[in-house]
Amino acid sequence: MTRHGQLYLRDQVPPRSTAYDQGKFGRLFPSLPPFASDSKSVRQRLMELGKPGGLMDAGDNLNSTDPVPGSPSNTDNPNMTAGFTFLGQFLDHDMTFDSTSSLERQNDPESIENFRTPFLELDNVYGSGRAASPHLYDKTTGGIKFLIEKLGGEGSKDDLPRNSQNMALIGDPRNDENTIISQMQLAFLKFHNHVVDYVIDSGLKDPNDAFTEAQKLVRWHYQWIIVHEFLPTTVGQDLVDDILKKGRRFYNWRNQPFIPVEFSVAAYRFGHSQVRPGYIANHGTQDMPEFRAPIFNFSLDPNLCDPDDLRGGKRAPRRFVDWDTFFDFKNGKVKPNKKIDPKLSSALFTLPFPAPGLPGQEEPIRSLAQRNLLRHLTFSLPSGQDVARAMEIDPLSPSDLRDLKDLGFDKRTPLWFYILKEAELRAQGKTLGPVGGRIVAEVFIGLLQGDRKSYLRQDPKWKPVLGQKHDFKIVDLLKFAGLAP
């Protein structure tokens, strides 16, 4: 059987069913063939594409005494601030958690369990609830607020609660993999706690009722940020408006919403392109200098209590975030994000937490780009060109992708790379392009429309009651959480 003139590759026909159960991954385009056969040659070429110093490496100087400036390939995005990378990472951890798939074998998305509910309901914050996750909650408040601890030191800042081995006691362990996402998790804990106070001060005295109402307000304001700030910034306001008014064209389901692998393995990994080599985490205190550090430094001893990078799982007085570097509080300190394009910061090619190597390869895979590309084979993802044609969008030409010609991917391109290149060529790297943008926007909006408890399903005309009048942005959330500069 053919589609767009392409033969299916033997033993690699993707599942065609759209009747996915809740909690599963699935496909947007189940009838499209894989972009390539799973062979040693293809894997070697993907490894070449994603190698350190290769085509996707931005070429940052990781030995620089100042880790924040990037190379000429690490270009600024004038329409997006640095914090959106980490807000996007936080959203990802709310939707998906695949702990079972492997880079070494093909995986059927229908058989992969998503250990997150496929909704935007903050289960990475609330865990399994007060009864099933009591370790997340503060008993001194009757269990209606989250536990929060201190970093230590003079003028001590707040930190996530941790056990004796510095493991964060939170709803998703991935939200402590770097200092910035760790402090983002903390911001949501503090936001909930302040909303509990707001609800009680408004007259709702019963603790259980106060928790339930606070949780609803937190979730709805968070969902508002997704629809009215994150998505317009990421894909453009026109596309968001089009989907809200005319409906979704490609993301549909029969039973329950699912997470499409075209989204989770390709389109939504655009954020990896926006990670900077380093960040100004905070401006220091009276007793400490500014904390300016690389996001990861593979050369450092992982057992250091306070390493000179931004890895997570550590507690020290300087490991906090001043959010005015990441989001625009109108004080002139905010830093821009990186443009969306096929270049990744060099730090992401030497990650401190390696994945197992390929069969017959002793060296572990430390390059995030290589991992992402290999997953296109394990999940039999279609080419970017086939997806574009299925969406009735003119695909990028081989000339647009001429850098891939020697690798043989200029006509059948891995979807993730294609989406990054499309953003660069068709949106100047400021937002996602038409293929990537529609996949991302339809999945986010579809997940909200499929959630019976979301504001978009229950009351689509609802307006925020916290922060600005009838509007609410991530800056407002941080202010309400007591984290304004």
Residue 173 lies in a domain: no
Alpha-carbon gap, residue 346 to 323, rounded angstroms: 24
CATH code for the domain in which residue 344 is found: 1.10.640.10
pLDDT at position 362: 64
pLDDT at position 98: 45
Alpha-carbon gap, residue 86 to 467, rounded angstroms: 21
E strand segments, 4-69: 6-7, 25-26
Residue 307 lies in a domain: no
Residue 447 lies in a domain: yes
Alpha-carbon gap, residue 353 to 190, rounded angstroms: 29
Alpha-carbon gap, residue 463 to 458, rounded angstroms: 12
Residue 225 lies in a domain: yes
Alpha-carbon gap, residue 59 to 2, rounded angstroms: 41
Residue 283 lies in a domain: no
Compute the half-sphere exposure of residue 438: CA atoms within 13 Å on the CB side of its CA.
18
Residue 139 lies in a domain: no
Which parts of the chain register pLDDT below 70?
1-23, 65, 70, 97-117, 356-362
pLDDT at position 414: 99
Compute the half-sphere exposure of residue 185: CA atoms within 13 Å on the CB side of its CA.
34
Structural domain total, the chain = 1
The DSSP H or E segment spanning 150 is strand 149-150
Q: Which two tokens stand for residue 161?
A: 């609660």
Closest C-alpha among 460, 101, 423, 391 to residue 265: 101
- Provide the residue range defining the domain that includes 222: 2-128+178-273+329-480
The DSSP H or E segment spanning 261 is helix 261-261
Closest C-alpha among 190, 196, 189 to residue 210: 196
Residue 320 lies in a domain: no
pLDDT at position 96: 77
DSSP string spanning 171-235? S-GGGGSBHHHHHHHHHHHHHHHHHHHHHHHTT---HHHHHHHHHHHHHHHHHHHIIIIIHHHHH
In this predicted model, what pLDDT tens digit does every residue of 310-364 receive, in sequence order? Answer: 999 999 999 999 999 999 999 999 999 999 999 999 999 988 777 766 665 667 8
Residues 235, 440: contact at Cβ < 8 Å? yes
pLDDT at position 104: 42
Alpha-carbon gap, residue 438 to 89, rounded angstroms: 19
Residues 115, 101: contact at Cβ < 8 Å? no
In this predicted model, what pLDDT tens digit does every residue of 78-132 receive, in sequence order? Answer: 999 999 999 999 999 999 764 433 334 445 454 444 444 679 999 999 999 999 9
CA 283, 284, 286, 289 torsion-angle sign? negative
pLDDT at position 97: 64
Residues 198, 445: contact at Cβ < 8 Å? no
Residue 317 lies in a domain: no
pLDDT at position 114: 40
